[in-house]
Amino acid sequence: MSASIPLPLDPGQWRVMMADDHVESLMIIKMLMEHHHAQCLTVNSGLACLEQLPDYDPNVLLLDLQMPKKSGWEVMREVRAMPKYKDLLIIAVTAHTMEGDRAKIIGEGFSDHIPKPVKTRTFISEIQEIISRINALV
């Protein structure tokens, strides 16, 4: 995703990839995305995310922070190092958030974060709010 091309607010135009080692989280997010007509690929590890990223070519990447072998932090850093994905919307979706964590997450290179458990009624609108905020900077 290029910084000069705003990401659409319409979920029907999203190509979402979600990496999480918890099957329940993957199922819930996939269901929400598909309900809103977004394309969604779920993977159960950071390694699988990096392997499938070039072929799937998402415009939204959702990462759990604490996955075995390769954390969401490590995946985000590797993705940001790829010129094609330096401006990709990467959102941390994690249960491990405390006051001040949002600033740290954004400071490290994530676009933003959404705490778990995700709120099914507001999850899509939370992503849209993040996109609106980022698009305003373009």
> The whole model's pTM is what?
0.94
pLDDT at 99: 78
pLDDT at 95: 84
- pLDDT per 10-residue tile (average), the chain, 138 residues: 70 97 96 98 98 97 95 98 96 84 92 94 97 90
Which amino acid makes up residue 129? Answer: E
Residues 6 or more apart whose Cβ sits within 8 Å of residue 24:
none
pLDDT at 3: 44
The full set of domains in the chain, from first to last, is: 11-135 (3.40.50.2300)
